[in-house]
Structure 1
């Protein structure tokens, strides 16, 4: 393919992320946050200034959670109410939210088993909301 490349093929330059070191995109510092999806698979979330985005997590070590200390907005997965072998359930996600203490938290990566938005969101603690398609969150310091 390299000799006679199709002209519609995108040019991609890969950059490997060292999860032990922050990196920059332009002027923005991004801090990788390591966790596990299961015993076999690692996942990486990201802290971008006052925002942290973690999805597909099942576990996170204390040292990695410390990287999230002081975030204002945390986006974290919670697949369902019942325990799952490779994703946070709602109770586990809420436990992480309590540990981190963000001003706002959004639950994402949900299945239909999380319940209907109108029924589930009122049961969440103050400052915790279910994310939804087309949600916009204003984070002015990024």
Structure 2
């Protein structure tokens, strides 16, 4: 799982904006950036220049240094997970066991825990279908974390 800098920056900018309960339109006007371009930056589709990042951070009252520090911590956490658990081990650890269990998916994704952006953690996002027989009838359930 490769993390792109523009995606990590975009995620942090979007979280900062939504935590302030502000719209894209409000921030784009304040930063003097087109709404469409700001949206593309938040989605990690466009690489923002340093001047543009400074303008967006000013509009959000978020110091640029704080944004970059948090992005560096996010990427460091994701990179640490990648290096400590090889891709094959990730696939094996998310594969259910048992005669009737079948994996429908499983991967590591970043997730926000709590309302504070400092609470960014890596959590497994799993979706497994587990089938069992109860009293002679077949039952199935999908579990997601």
TM-score w.r.t. length of structure 2: 0.25
TM-score w.r.t. length of structure 1: 0.25
Larger Rg: 2
* Structure with greater helix share of residues: 2
